[in-house]
Structure formats: C-alpha cells, structure tokens
Amino acid sequence: MTSYSRKILRAAAFACLIPASLTGCKASGNESRGAASQPPFMSAVVSVPPQNADDAPPLKKTGGFDGKRAFAHVVKQVSFGPRPSGSQAISHLQDYLQSELKSYGCNVETDSFGADTPVGRLPMKNIVVKSPGEKTGVILLGTHYDTLLKENFVGADDAGSSTAVMLELARLLCPQHGRYAVWIAFFDGEEAMKQWSDTDSRYGSRQMAARLSTSGDIKKIKAFLLADIVGGRKAQFLRESSSNPALIELVWNTAAKLGYSAVFLNAMTSAEDDHDSFMKRGVPAVDVIADFMNNGYWHTPQDSLDKISQRTLAVVGHVFLESVKQLQSK
C-alpha cells in the first residue's frame, strides 16, 4: 500500500513537489569524482595505480563479492541491446543467465508462461535457482531482468545492475548449504508495457507468487530481499516505506555495521515494485532500491553503462551476503 505510484513518481522526477521528509528528495548533481580527474600521465610513473572511487573494493572487504565480475555482467547485458519482455534480445539474456547459473553449479528452474499485456500476449520466463537448507524455510532474493519497452533504452542500472548482483550472489551462494534454503529469482516482466498499474506491471513476480500460493510453498518464505536499480555511481538507498519494517531494520543495520551508512540512508521513500507481489500474499519483503527519482536518468536512454559503479555493485552485494547470513542465524 504505497501512497503514490511509480507513474506519479515519474512526474515528481521533474519537480520535487512532495515533502522531502516523505520522499527523501534532495539536491543532487554537484558532486564531482571519477576517472576524469586523474591526470593520465600519472599512471606511467606511480607504482600503485590510483584508486578510482568507482573501482571494485578488494574481495576481502566485501565477503568475497566481486564487483568487477558484477560489472562485467552489466556490460554483457547492455551488449544485447534493449531487452523488453518477449524480444529477441531478452531470449539471448535468458540463455546467458541460465548458462552462467549452471556454470556455478546452481540448481536452475524455469517457468515459461504467457502474459496478457496491453500490447498483446507475450512469452515470459522466470528463472529461479534453489539452494537447499537443513530446515523448512526459504530466504528469497530477487530481481527483475527485463528492461522498459522504450526506444534506445538499454537499462544498465534498471535492470542490468540488480541482475548482475544476483548473478554474482548466485555464484557465491549456490555451493553453500545453510540452515534455510536460499532461492534467487530472476523475474521477467516487471516493467509496465504501457502504464504502470496492478495489472500492467510485475508480470513475473505475480506469476511466481501465484504459483507458490497454489502449491502452498509461499508459507515457507521467511523473507524476500528484492534489489532494483542498485548500480549507480551516486546511488543512495532510502528506506522503502511499504516494505516490512523488521527487514528494513535488518538490511540497514547490516549496512551500517559494514560501514555503508553514507550509501544506506535513513530517509524514507516509496516505490511499487516486485516485492508487492509477495507482500500482498503475506510474505515479509524489503525493496532495496536507489533513489531513482533523483538519479537524472531513470527510464531514459541515458541509463547507460557510464552510470554504473563497480563499487556500488559490490557494496550492495556485500550487504545482501551479510543480510542472508543474519537471516540464516535466526
């Protein structure tokens, strides 16, 4: 139950009319950092290469999560071009996801289905990896991997970044057998085909939640941690107000303990997203989503590779890894 929807947020992106205390609206755009400030001649003479603020941190600082590998997954996705549901490009991405996941030793399940949309019936496919646990109970992680149906929209951040983070998490988590099972879902059809509504959006996550309700397995899901738009160089994560309060606390406390309080802020925001499909069926869920309204490129052709930071990908991956550890200990 959000107070306003993504389509209204789209309007708000042009003028931040909603009170800042509610939305976390803020001034932005005056930070300057990046490779451009490095004198190019320096690299030839210094023994240690200058550390770009957006380079991936060392693996020992991120619990093994490799920001470089995650970034390479974003590069690969963007190379397929725009990837809206039902397109040739998304079928190439589906093949890539499945072959990567199998190469990590993941147990991969797929659900192909037809979705009735305002632009006709489209073939869609959810891809889910399942790592078993000792006890009953599932920790679900998820992302969408389709991109907005829009000309020249390659979606490096939306949904390339979160798809990349989930691939790298799968590489690390599939070989592990914890107390509880860990499932990682790659949803098709999150984006609206025409205009965001309860019936034109979240096709993949609604499909998975409905199937799990029919089978009764939805009751086993202890927590659903969703990632969306998690790779921006200047990304800041605000607490999504419709998410489960205890899970928000868990994720944000984990981020603070890891030293990421400058990225995971305490301000609130509101977003409709794939977590809603599970929240509506009683599953506790949290949406980890950057302040996309204010990133300056959301749902525009400027959502391109140059916006993506290896470091942000690694920070989010680290927070997810540690949050899963926390949930495994409960």
Interacting stretch for Zn ion, rule CB under 5 A, among 29-37, 79-87, 150-158, 254-262?
A: 150-158
Kindly state the smallest distance separating residue 299's Cβ from Zn ion, in Å: 6
Q: Considering only residues 30 through 89, tell me which ones interact with Zn ion, judged by CB under 5 A.
A: none
- Token duo for residue 158: 């939306």
Nearest CB to Zn ion, comparing residues 83 and 318: 83
Nearest CB to Zn ion, comparing residues 158 and 200: 158
Residue 159: cis peptide before it, omega within 30 degrees of 0? yes
Q: How many residues bind Zn ion (CB under 5 A)?
A: 1
Nearest CB to Zn ion, comparing residues 158 and 188: 158
Q: Cα–Cα distance between 72 and 69 in angstroms, integer?
A: 5
Nearest CB to Zn ion, comparing residues 128 and 159: 159
What number of H helices and E strands is found in the chain? 9, 8
- Token duo for residue 8: 């209204």
Nearest CB to Zn ion, comparing residues 66 and 303: 303
Q: With binding defined as CB under 5 A, does residue 273 bind Zn ion?
A: no
- Nearest residue to the partner Zn ion, using Cβ: 158
Kindly state the smallest distance separating residue 148's Cβ from Zn ion, in Å: 5
Beta bridge partners of 239: 268
Nearest CB to Zn ion, comparing residues 293 and 315: 293
Kindly state the smallest distance separating residue 190's Cβ from Zn ion, in Å: 7
Nearest CB to Zn ion, comparing residues 173 and 288: 288
Kindly state the smallest distance separating residue 191's Cβ from Zn ion, in Å: 5
- Token duo for residue 181: 């099972």
Nearest CB to Zn ion, comparing residues 158 and 274: 158
Interacting stretch for Zn ion, rule CB under 5 A, among 29-37, 83-91, 155-163, 258-266?
A: 155-163
Backbone CA torsion sign across 93, 319, 296, 55: negative
Q: Considering only residues 218 through 237, tell me which ones interact with Zn ion, judged by CB under 5 A.
A: none
User: Mind spelling out the 3-state secondary structure of 91-135?
Assistant: HHHHHHHHHHHHHCCCCEEEEEEEEEECCEEEEEEEEEEEECCCC
Kindly state the smallest distance separating residue 12's Cβ from Zn ion, in Å: 15
Residue 311: closest CA among 258, 228, 259, 234: 234
Q: With binding defined as CB under 5 A, does residue 158 bind Zn ion?
A: yes
Interacting stretch for Zn ion, rule CB under 5 A, among 69-77, 158-166, 173-181, 313-321?
A: 158-166
Kindly state the smallest distance separating residue 158's Cβ from Zn ion, in Å: 4
Q: Kindly state the helix (H) or strand (E) to which residue 284 belongs, with its residue range.
A: none
**Which residues fall within 8 angstroms of residue 146, CB to CB, at 6 or more apart?**
83, 84, 85, 90, 159, 187, 188, 189, 190, 191, 204
**Which residues fall within 8 angstroms of residue 105, CB to CB, at 6 or more apart?**
174, 175
C-beta separation of 254 from 227 below 8 A: no
Q: With binding defined as CB under 5 A, does residue 272 bind Zn ion?
A: no
Question: Which residues make up the interface to Zn ion (CB under 5 A)?
Answer: 158
